[in-house]
Chains A and B, each alone.
Chain A
């Protein structure tokens, strides 16, 4: 396998982008990444697009060809492939691009992720997100996507004494980080009280425990490491890519206080990179709900199982703490345009490793990790990146 570098990154602002269509945000992020990599359209061998549900959000399938077309590449006839794994679509698209370059099949690949969520109402968006769970045996009986995470939270509280305040602190911390990210959907700090007093969505989770609906797109350009310095002086190396799956329905797991898929994907990635959790300086994790970040930092091995809530309360995951988690603001504050999220995580990791994160820069960032989850942990993708 060849070594693979990220040589370009780009992203739109995340938020309610009422004046922009799906094809426009996809194109904007892609062109920004290609521009950042000092490339032109004819240099690109293939495109991968992570997207969960354009069919239901904008009544448009076949979106990889669409993005290639509006990025001006239709006449180059490049292979354009859409990748779907619910919330993990973006991370999984990156993995497909990584494998395509590592294998020698392609030299330069663009990986994008996009979702346009605000063309439908909140109710419809919630129902679309619930389709990441088991439609026949969970959703039909009344389970919603937040309610499944609320049941995880309840069990985590029961087994480990995790508190409502500890979960709320995840949102407070991620909003604090978001306030330092000019592309975040929410750039305003919030108090613990704001989270605790927000209307209940699914007890114990309130509105501020949930990532928002967002429009947005992100893209990265991958290149074989041996050729990367032709395009950039600051290539970032993909040290490892791990992926794992699990039962689609939460109720078929032996344990729901952690995601086995995250643990297995991380094990595979750490093994490939010949690193351990202790070598990671910072991470972007899938905080679609506050409890999800607590699960993630435990499952990735940053903190012992059951101690993620306490570690968060103690400030260990804050910028400047033991390990900065979600310096971008995470899904909670940066925003969560589903298919874009996994790619946006990579954009943040690369920005940090390049030393270009400005006010939210992690000191001495050498190794960064991204964890992207689909559904209630039925898919997990873990990437580890490092300075080249």
Chain B
């Protein structure tokens, strides 16, 4: 994967920058140019919006068979998170015990290393999610 590809996505991967449709108010992440609800009239009417990073687990799994990039991390937890803004996002769940895992669990986004272009290559960062503890 080239550095340019990751660089293009950095704003959204580092800071969870999405967009909000100013017609229907719906939030989209990652950014889109056309709102799936408002279609043509939404073009040019989507404005950047930074997600708060707070959400809850919609579903999850523990990955035991992983691609080479994630081999060192397995078993690891993948989840789909429903963000406060309504949009859903796929990411890893970290700092969590298997026994704690539950649908509805409150989580917060945190910046972590996602991977690298091979040993000694450019490191890619992005969001993962950790439980919000009382």
Contact = CB atoms under 8 A, between A and B. Distances in A.
Interface of A: 123, 126-127, 130, 136-138, 140-144, 146-147, 150-152, 154-155, 158, 199-205, 249-252, 256
Given A202-B62, A251-B80, 20 more contacts: A123-B67, A126-B67, A140-B115, A141-B78, A141-B91, A141-B114, A142-B63, A142-B66, A142-B92, A143-B78, A143-B90, A144-B65, A147-B78, A154-B60, A154-B103, A203-B61, A249-B90, A250-B80, A250-B90, A251-B88
Interface residues of B, number: 30
Which secondary structure characterizes the binding site on chain B? strand
Contacts of A203: 61-64
Closest 5 CB pairs between A and B? Answer: A150-B61, A251-B88, A203-B62, A155-B59, A151-B59
A144 B128 CA distance: 16
A11 to B, nearest CB: 29
Interface in B26-77: 30, 58-68, 70, 73, 76
A150 B61 CA distance: 6
Contacts of A141: 78, 90-92, 114, 126, 128
5 contacts: A123-B67, A142-B91, A144-B63, A144-B67, A147-B78
A355 B8 CA distance: 57
Contacts of A143: 78, 90
A288 to B, nearest CB: 15
A142 B59 CA distance: 15
A127 B80 CA distance: 20
Nearest to A249: B90
B89 interface: yes
B101 to A, nearest CB: 9
B61 A202 contact: yes
A142 B70 contact: yes
A151 B9 CA distance: 25
Contacts of B9: 136
Contacts of A151: 59-61, 78-80
B108 to A, nearest CB: 16
Contacts of B63: 142, 144, 147, 150, 202-203
A19 to B, nearest CB: 28
A214 to B, nearest CB: 18
Contact of A137 (B90, B103, B128): B90
A251 B78 CA distance: 12
Contacts of A152: 59
B67 A127 contact: yes
Nearest to A257: B59
